[in-house]
Every structure is written in structure tokens, then in C-alpha cells.
Structure 1
Amino acid sequence: MDYQYPMDLDWSTEEIVDVIKFFEAVEKAYESKIEKEAFMKAYRRFKEIVPGKADEKRYTDEFESASKYSAYLVVKKAKTLADGDWIKMK
């Protein structure tokens, strides 16, 4: 990983850690696999910190530009899966 996670300097340390956990969950979906519930928990917390659609798109687009991993596609796939399923991209 040769990139930085997008973040807002106005966030608390806890919020920064939780946003990083969300982006790590996206990475895990691409690099191995992640349980749907674990991913959705990280996504829901991310949405508490970044509630606006425009801000969500800005941060996830910035992450995708740096990492080539699409948070949008992982969220979209997660929403189609049943509880207990695993998310594996590619």
C-alpha cells in the first residue's frame, strides 16, 4: 500500500480510526474476503461520520483514485448478499 487514506482533519481521533477501518474493509473485500455483517458495520459507522452523499462520494472517489478499490462497488455488492455471506471482489 503506497497511498494515504482520505480524511478530514476536523474529525476526532476515534472518527479517523473508524474511517480507516472502513477503507481497510474495502481493501479486504478485494484482497481476500470479508463477512457482509463486518463490512456493513464499518460502512454504517463511516456513514455516521460522513452522512452526506457528496462527501461520501468525494472520500470514496479519492480512495479509489489512490488504491484502485471501489468502495461503491463493494457497498453495492454487500447490499445484494444475504446475512452470513462473504464479500469477495474480482
Structure 2
Amino acid sequence: MEYQYPIDVDWSQDEMLAVINFFNKIEDYYERKVEGSALKNAYSDFKKVVPGKADEKNIFDEFEKGSGYNSYKVVKLVKDNPDEKYFSANE
């Protein structure tokens, strides 16, 4: 699948890597499976870069337009099922 990650050029390299890592976990959910704790940690790092809800929504929407992957749905699923070890759209 060909798409770009929603990256802000004003972010530092570490911030860009945190956002990319988070979206890699979202991709893992849809393409394979992802460990719940890894996704929670990646989302926590993402929120340090993108603390605002409106900015988060815009970035999630931009990522979904390119990839077809709904980040909000995955984050909500993990938050609602904190004891689940692995998550996958394929199960």
C-alpha cells in the first residue's frame, strides 16, 4: 500500500519517529497482530507529540484517508480491553 504518514515538518526527528512508530502499530493491528502494551506505549509517545484532541483527530483522519486504517477504533479497542494481550483485525 502506498501512502505517507502525516508528519509535521516542525517536529523533531524523535517526535517524527514516535508518530511513525504509533502508526506502525496501527498497521500491525490491521495486517498482523499487535501487542496491547506496545500499542498503549506507542500511543502514549504519540500523545506527547500531539497532545490536543483536535490535532489528533486531524492526523488520524489524514492517516485513514491514505491507508484506510482507523486509528481511533484501534486505540478505543485497546483502552476498552486493557487486559487483552494481543489485538488483530483478522481475528
TM > 0.5 fold call: yes
Alignment of 1:77-88 (within 5 A): 77-83=77-83, 85-88=85-88
Amino acid paired to 1:54:
A
Alignment of 1:57-76 (within 5 A): 57-76=57-76
Amino acid paired to 1:18:
A
Tell me if structure 2 keeps the 8 A contact 1:37–1:84: no
Identity value in percent: 49
1:1-37: CA deviation from partner (whole Å, max 9, x where unpaired): 2000001110001110110000010000010101100
Query: TM-score, normalised on structure 2?
Result: 0.94
Between the aligned partners of 2:7 and 2:84, the Cα distance in structure 1 is 30
CA RMSD of aligned residues (A): 1.0
How far does residue 81 in structure 1 lie from its aligned partner after superposition? 1.7
Where does residue 28 of structure 2 map in the other structure?
28
Where does residue 4 of structure 1 map in the other structure?
4
Which structure 1 residue ranges, 4+ long, deviate > 2 Å from structure 2? Answer: none
How far does residue 82 in structure 1 lie from its aligned partner after superposition? 3.2
Between the aligned partners of 1:76 and 1:56, the Cα distance in structure 2 is 13
How far does residue 85 in structure 1 lie from its aligned partner after superposition? 1.5
Between the aligned partners of 2:82 and 2:40, the Cα distance in structure 1 is 12
Q: Which runs of 5+ in 1 are unaligned?
A: none
Query: TM-score, normalised on structure 1?
Result: 0.95
Could you say what secondary structure the match of 1:64 adopts?
helix
The alignment of Structure 1 onto Structure 2 pairs a total of residues equal to: 90
Question: Structure 1 stretch 78-87 or stretch 30-39: which is displaced more?
Answer: 78-87
